[in-house]
Amino acid sequence: MNERLVQFLKEHQIHEVECVIPDMTGVARGKIVPRNLFLAEDTMKMSKAALMLTVNGEFADYERFAGANDPDMVCVPDANTIRMVPWAIEQVAVVIHDCQDFDGRHVGISPRAVLRKVLKLYENKGWRPVVAPEMEFYLIAQNSNPHEPLRPPVGRAGRTEVGRQSFSIDAVNDFDPFFQELSTFCEAANLGVETLIHEVGAGQMEINFSHGDALDLADRVFLFKRAVRETAYRHKIFATFMAKPMENEPGSAMHIHQSIVDIQSGENIFSNADGTASQLFFSHIAGMQKYLPQAMPMFAPYVNSYRRLSRHTAAPINVRWGYDNRTCGIRIPNSGPAARRLENRVPGVDVNPYLAMAATLACGYLGMVEKLQPSEPMSDSAYSLDYELPRSLEDAVELMQACEALQEVLGTEFVEAFCNVKEKEFETFNRGITAWEREHLQLHV
């Protein structure tokens, strides 16, 4: 057993350990085991089919990708991920595990393995990505009936938000007890959360993370979503990471800031020695322009995701880029040469963070190795331009399945398995009849 794990369990007098893996949808799957059993076993055995679960709990074609005999995989704890579960009644720790076959190789359809694969490609070039995600989410009133529209919760003033309170300090303070406890939980779990603001929508918030290693940030986002939901339950409200939870409110994104540093020198490869933007910087942008549409199922993984990506919803509908231009899918923030970076504004907050990180870095990587050139930057609004991103999950999956370059970077087996999960989810969704269909078609067609 790793000494760091042993020391953590001893220091914090841990009773139980949550042994978790992220599945394709970003849901935490795993087992809760007593401390002594965790120390004795070293690893956890779990059905490989768990990676093929859809968001609604159905199994996609697990026989094809996990094995017809429903075999186990070996889940190995990553000592760097051990943290407290601060909302637990007793002293409980959580450890994120890597999925391996019995020969020690990473399971190719595991989201964590996919991100590791992309990061290894960067490492082979002598590069290291640095990322910083921005997480938007809604606080909503508790709602046990999924057929009813969602609405903002009641704050300390005894009222719900009736208008949009962009950047309002008072609107955030309306939920002070929630945010104070969330802050305590995030600090106890060492999640590295920084800025909190009220976003545009009624009850919509945004929390930013400190920049760092892509795998570590994906781990933190994965755990952060659980922390937000658990905190909300304790305050008798809900928190949702749906991309478009309310009809007349803007959607929620997970913007990803990214730069690349040289491993040996630590210098930002997006800048030349004289401070100007490097060719690698422009090629990274061009790679995102070319491959973001093909990688869309990893940025917009559900039917609901595409409701956010529509005209006049403050979300990108194209792959234009511009300097400090939030109307573009790719924004270049004002920053000095050492901090030169770009912001991918396409992903919704409903993504699996491991896959969204892997996809955005894969697109940029392909641009750099293919030495692509971007379009001219946009200085005006890009909202009125034509759609350049897929309009539906069906179209997005077809594009991804046809992209050989992404399959090579992410792994052909993973792309096929991931698309299989998305197709299964769409098939299930398509069986349902919506309220819109009943309202407008029942008596009129």
- DSSP per position, 207-231: EEE--B-HHHHHHHHHHHHHHHHHH
pLDDT of residue 174: 84
Residues of the chain predicted below pLDDT 70? 162-163, 167
pLDDT of residue 314: 83
pLDDT of residue 163: 67
Dig out the tokens for 199 from the structure: 């976003």
CA dihedral sign, ordered 42, 47, 48, 50: negative
CA–CA separation, 295 vs 83, rounded Å?
A: 32
The CATH architecture to which 3-107 belongs is: Roll (3.10)
In the chain, what are the domain boundaries?
3-107, 119-439
Answer left, alpha or beta for residue 13, where phi above 0 means left and psi between -120 and 50 means alpha.
left
Give me the CATH topology for the region 119-439.
Creatine Kinase; Chain A, domain 2 (3.30.590)
Could you give the 3-state DSSP secondary structure of residue 101? coil
pLDDT of residue 144: 87
